[in-house]
Amino acid sequence: MSVASPSTTPLSTPLLDLARLANSRTYCEQLTRRAARNFYYGLKLLPEPKRSAMFALYAYMRLVDDIADGDDGQSHEDRAADLEQWRQETHAVLAGHLPELDESHDLWPAVEEMAHTYRLPAHLFDDVIAGQQQDLQFTGFETFEPLREYCYRVAGVVGLASIYVWGFEGGAETQALAVDRGIAFQLTNILRDLREDAANNRIYLPSDELAEFGVTPEDLRSARGGQRFLDLMRFQIERAESFYTRSAALDERVAADSRPTLITMTEIYRRLLRKVAQEPERVLHERVSLSLLSKLRIGWRASRAK
């Protein structure tokens, strides 16, 4: 994926500004509907303008991930260069300088509006890009601490950015809760995607924990289950659950009109984790998921509870 270099030329007329913003919002919503299989059902519960802002936030995160993890045959060097260009363009947009219309990505006007309206700190976008740079040069993790830092960059920061849009009380303590909730989501993803990631030589579980339980990377690549694998998975599942538990107070600290969204997203991910827990060896053979009907029911119940 090539990324245009940033330009600081402003748009020429307010009317064009409005049309371009409308197109950008539509683009972000369509991308979110297509790609956010678990988030979309929660985001739809938000009132406007928070809903459009979250579509823009998700679209940004999705596209950054695509730069680092696309299947277009680009080299690591080209992807690294694209990520750096994306970082520069992001900072230009956050400063209010959209690329010229014929050079622009449809994403940018909605992202600029979202970041400006809800005052998202620029370092959040840098942290997201740093996570993708880390994924691009993936070497695995020896212990949980570097894995936790990676989870912050690719998911905890998304939780932090989200509460800026939703509105929250409690300051830094609530921000820490949002990070923990995002980490819980990412740990769930890692367990759900174990087979697919192992096939791509990406073992996210810490190597010291694999050794402790007597499980090798080759065991994961070969879908070799057994008691040692089950013991490893129970340990990982308990840790993921602990991040949901320790962030429980977050639900009451976000704005009331945003709680159904947070509750829906959390319930979908926590049910995924518990589905993995029911039969851990399933992740070696298939992608564990919830049905569309289950997700709709979760969203309906959350919306009724507000």
Shared domain check, 147 and 264: yes
pLDDT, one tens digit per residue, over 170-188 is: 999 999 999 999 999 999 9
pLDDT, one tens digit per residue, over 264-284 is: 999 999 999 999 999 999 999
- Report, in angstroms and rounded to the nearest whole number, the Rg of the chain calculated over CA atoms: 20
pLDDT at residue 136 in the model = 86
What's the one-letter identity of residue 59?
A
CATH code assigned at 293: 1.10.600.10
pLDDT, one tens digit per residue, over 194-233 is: 999 999 889 999 999 999 999 999 999 999 999 999 999 9
Residue 177 lies inside a defined structural domain of this protein: yes
pLDDT at residue 23 in the model = 93
* Local confidence band at 72 (pLDDT 50, 70, 90 cut-offs): low
Shared domain check, 247 and 111: no
Residues of the chain with pLDDT > 70, as a percent, come to 92
Could you tell me the pTM of the whole model?
0.89
* Local confidence band at 11 (pLDDT 50, 70, 90 cut-offs): very low
Shared domain check, 105 and 191: no
Cα torsion 111, 116, 119, 124 to 10°: value is 30
Assess whether pLDDT exceeds 70 at residue 10: no
Assess whether pLDDT exceeds 70 at residue 4: no
pLDDT at residue 102 in the model = 58
pLDDT at residue 120 in the model = 96
H helix intervals, 37-167 = 40-43, 50-69, 76-94, 108-118, 122-136, 144-151, 157-166
pLDDT at residue 13 in the model = 47
Q: Kindly state the DSSP code that residue 99 receives in the 8-state scheme.
A: P
Assess whether pLDDT exceeds 90 at residue 30: yes
Shared domain check, 212 and 64: no
Higher pLDDT, 233 or 17: 233
pLDDT, one tens digit per residue, over 241-262 is: 999 999 999 999 999 999 999 9
Whole-angstrom distance, CA of residue 33 vs CA of residue 139: 32
pLDDT at residue 88 in the model = 94
Beta bridge partners of 254: 168
Q: Kindly state the DSSP code that residue 254 receives in the 8-state scheme.
A: B
Structural domain count of the chain: 2
Domain membership of residue 18 as a residue range: 11-119
Residue 56: exposure state from Cβ atoms within 10 A (0-12, 13-18, ≥19): buried
Shared domain check, 200 and 286: yes
Q: Is the peptide bond before 109 cis (omega within 30 degrees of 0)?
A: no
Whole-angstrom distance, CA of residue 163 vs CA of residue 178: 7
Assess whether pLDDT exceeds 80 at residue 81: yes
Whole-angstrom distance, CA of residue 80 vs CA of residue 87: 11
pLDDT at residue 101 in the model = 67
Shared domain check, 182 and 98: no
pLDDT at residue 105 in the model = 80
What's the one-letter identity of residue 300?
W
